[in-house]
Structure 1
Amino acid sequence: MSEIKPVFLPERRRFALDDDGKLIDEAHYRDFEGSDGVERIFFHTTVDEEYGGQGLASVMVKYALENTIASGAKIVAVCPYVKAYVAKHSDYDAHLVEPTKAHLGILPRD
């Protein structure tokens, strides 16, 4: 059995889980230049159905949030999954920024 590991793909503006070269979950983001620095907007999370129900999305989201905080950026949770995750983990509260129209305005429309 291969090891599934979280990866950061800044050139694609996403975090993902890699299963031996196959990306199985992805958390899409855009960086926004806020008044106090970068605010990373998480707006869409996808999970490969074949891997559903194993808690892997939470592994990826935790990795993405920890990486974001370590980089000095704030978290803007727009994606319903990320919003639910941070709502359950109050240790992220100090790193959250409420989404604004300016945040939403830079997101892809597709």
Structure 2
Amino acid sequence: MSPITVRHNPDRNRFEVLDGDTVIGRAAYVDRDAESQRIFYHTVINDGFEGQGLAGRLAAQALDETVAAGLTIVPVCPYIKKYLQKHPGYSANVSRPNPATLEFLDAYLAGQARR
């Protein structure tokens, strides 16, 4: 196993966990610029890499960088929601999803599916 790192890949709208140069996990998001929000909608760690704390490491860096960028965290992803419940220090930077947020996310995902 190579060194495990976490990086932001803004071109792909996600934070990634890497084993060397291989992406082994990701936290996908979409930025809603008009609202200064980052909507996290999917987090996954590849099979064979679970149980090593990688999802927590990924979430911590993703959320820390989101706050540092001045964006509000909007957790739609179940893992990110759970992580935030266990780490209340982020609460001042979190906004619950509302119908407008979910419509924005649905439109974004529909556009991605057409690509």
Q: Normalised by the shorter chain, which TM-score bucket?
A: over 0.9
Give runs of aligned pairs for residues 5-84 of structure 1, distance below 5 A: 5-32=5-32, 33-34=34-35, 38-84=36-82
- What is the aligned counterpart of 1:99 among 83, 97, 107? 97
Separation (CA, whole Å) in 2 of partners of 1:20 and 1:106: 34
Question: Alpha-carbon deviations, 1:24-74, whole Å to 9, x = none?
Answer: 01000011121xxx1100011111011011110000010000000000001
The answer to which structure has the higher strand fraction is: 1
Consecutive unaligned residues in structure 1, runs of 5 or more: none
CA RMSD of aligned residues (A): 1.1
TM-score, normalization: structure 1? Answer: 0.93
TM-score, normalization: structure 2? Answer: 0.89
Structure 1 runs (4+) deviating above 3 angstroms are none
1:106, CA displacement in angstroms? 2.3
1:22, CA displacement in angstroms? 0.5
The answer to which structure has the higher helix fraction is: 2
Give the 3-state SS of the residue equivalent to 1:29 in structure 2. strand
1:18, CA displacement in angstroms? 1.2
Identity level (%) = 40
